[in-house]
Amino acid sequence: MWIKLDGDGPLFRQLYRALRAGIVDGVVPPGARLPATRALASELGLSRTTVLLAYEQLAAEGYLDGKRGSGSFVQASLAPAATRIKAAAPTRLSTAVATAPRLSPFGAFLTGGRSRPIFSSYVSGRPRLPYDFRYGAPSLHDFPVQIWQRCLGRRARRASAPFFDYGHPQGSTALRAALAGYLLRGRGVRCEPEQIQIVSGSQQGLDLAARLLLAPEDVAVVEEPGYEGARRAFLAAGARLALVPTDAEGIDVEALARLGRRARLAHVTPSHQYPLGGVMPYPRRVAMLAWAAHTGAYLLEDDYDGEYRFGGRPLDALKALDDGERVIYLGTLSKVMFPALRIGYLVLPSALVEPFARAKLLADGGSAFLEQEALADFIANGAFERHIRRSRSWNGERRAALLRALDAHFGARVTVVGANAGLHVVAWFHGLSPRHARELVQRAAALGVGVYPVTPYYEAPPATLGLLLGYGALQVRAITTGITRLAEAAQGLGPSR
C-alpha cells in the first residue's frame, strides 16, 4: 500500500490524513480491508502504536468499520458520499467565488463602492519605506521599553487567580484611577474613575458612540476636512453626515449653530484639528458648549495628540470646561506610547456610563487585562509623564527639522499649516493639484520616501495638492534626507518655474 506522509505534526496524524485522503478520493474503495496494523507499521517503518492511533481516529470519525478477528474495513456506506464530494467540489468552489455573500446594511456599507479604503494614512499595500512620513506612528526610539517591560513582568509575576478571570467591562480599576489622576494634571479634566471606560483603541470608542447615540437617518456632525475613521463609523451606523467647515481655529461654530437642533452627535478635534492642525481658542470652545447645551447634542472630543504643543503648555481639553455634561472625551495611547498597545479610553457624562459599559461588554467582553494593569503602574510611578515631557522635546526638534527642510527645498512654493501642535503638518504645494498626487507619491516611493495626500480627509477635494507629513516616527537626519528626496521627486511636476 503506497502512502506518503506530509511531514506536518505527529506521525499518527500524518498517517491518519494520508489514509483519510485515500478513502475520500476513492483510492481505497468502500468495503476494502486495510492492512493489519503490524504489517503496515513494518512497511512504513513506524511503530504499531502509531498505526493503531491512526486507525482508531478513522474509526471514531466513521471512515472505518472494525470487525473483531477480521481486521479494519472502509465503511461501505461511504461510496455515495465520496462520489458526491468529488463531483460537487469544483461546482461548490465556482459558486462560492461567483456569488456575493448576503450582508447586512452595515456589511454592505463597509464593502460597497461608496466606502473607500478606511484609514488611508495607516494602511498601504507597499512595504514600509525608509523615509516614511506616515502619520500615527510615534518613534519607538523615544519610548522607555525597559521600564515598560518591567511593569509587564512585575504584574505577570504577581498574578493571582482572579487576575485570570474576566475583568470589569469598564476596565481595570487601577488603570481608571491612574488615568483620572493624569487627566487632571495633564489635560485639566476633572473626573471620577467610574466615568472612565477603557476601549480597545480610540476607533472602538468612536464605534460604540455611533452605535449608542445614532439611529438610522440621525444627523452626525463631522469636520470638513476631518478624520475619516469617525465618518465611516457614523455612516456605518446609518447616520447622515453634516459637514461643517473648519478654519485656522478649528470647526466653524457659526456654521454649526445654523444646523439648529437636527444634530445628535458632533465629532470635534479642538486641541489640534485633524488634519489641518488648527487650535480652537477659548471663546469658540464656550460657544460650542453653549450650542450643545441648547440642542441636546453630544460633543465627541477626539483628543488624539493633545499632549504635544510647541511654544507653550498644552491647552486644557474641551472636557475641562464641560459643566453641562455634554462632552464625551476620547483619548488614546497610540500616539504617546505605541499603536500595538490598543488601549484607548472615554470620559463619559454620568448618564452614559452604564450604556457604554453594556455596549463594551457585548462587543468584546472587555479589553486585555495584563496590559491595563501594567499601564496603571507605568502611570503611577511617573514614567508615563516623564516620557511625554521628553518626547515633546524630541518631537519639537523633529518639527523644527521638517520646517527647515521644507523651507530650504521649496520656499514659497509650499505653505505649511498646523505646525504649532501635534505630530504632523499639512504642506500645500502651490501650482500642483490633487491630480498630481498619484505621480508624486509614486516618484517619492521610488526614492524611498512615503508621503500621503490630504485629499481622503475631504468630501470635496481642495484645488491645491496637500500632503499630510507625519514626523513623529522619524529621526532628524531621516526627515532632512526625506524632504531632500521629496524635492527631487517633485521636480518637473506642474507648471515650469
* Reported CATH class of domain 11-80: mainly alpha
Q: Write the pLDDT tens digit of every residue in 91-112.
A: 444 444 556 788 888 888 887 7
Per-residue model confidence (pLDDT) at position 82? 44
Distance (Å) of CA 365 to CA 42, 160, 328, 344, 356:
53, 20, 22, 15, 12
Mean pLDDT score, 418-445: 95
Amino acid letter, residue 55:
Y
In terms of residues, how long is the chain?
497
For the CA atoms of 366, 367, 369, 372, what is the dihedral angle to 10 degrees?
-130
Q: Which CATH architecture has domain 131-138+386-490?
A: Alpha-Beta Complex (3.90)
Residue from 110, 115, 117, 121 nearest 304 by CA:
121
The Cα 43–Cα 45 span in angstroms is 6
Mean pLDDT score, 381-399: 95
Q: What percent of the chain has pLDDT over 90?
A: 68
pLDDT at 79 over 70: no
pLDDT at 90 over 60: no
Distance (Å) of CA 112 to CA 102, 117, 457:
12, 10, 19
E strand or H helix that includes residue 303: none
Joined together, the cell numbers standing for residue 469 give: 507629513
Amino acid letter, residue 123:
V
Q: Write the pLDDT tens digit of every residue in 305-338.
A: 888 888 777 789 999 999 999 999 999 998 899 9
Amino acid letter, residue 252:
D
Angle at 442 between CA 457 and CA 403, to 5 degrees: 65
pTM as predicted: 0.81
Residue 33 per-residue DSSP state: B
Per-residue model confidence (pLDDT) at position 395? 94
Distance (Å) of CA 205 to CA 298, 303, 328:
14, 12, 10
Per-residue model confidence (pLDDT) at position 122? 46
Q: What percent of the chain has pLDDT over 70?
A: 92
The Cα 149–Cα 280 span in angstroms is 37
pLDDT at 120 over 60: no
pLDDT at 117 over 60: no
The Cα 78–Cα 23 span in angstroms is 9
Select 145-385's CATH number: 3.30.70.120, 3.40.640.10, 3.40.50.970, 3.40.309.10. Answer: 3.40.640.10
The Cα 3–Cα 210 span in angstroms is 57
3-state secondary structure of 197: strand
pLDDT at 287 over 90: yes
Task: Give the start-to-end residue ranges of the domains of the chain.
Answer: 11-80, 131-138+386-490, 145-385
Joined together, the cell numbers standing for residue 152 give: 509587564
Per-residue model confidence (pLDDT) at position 6? 85
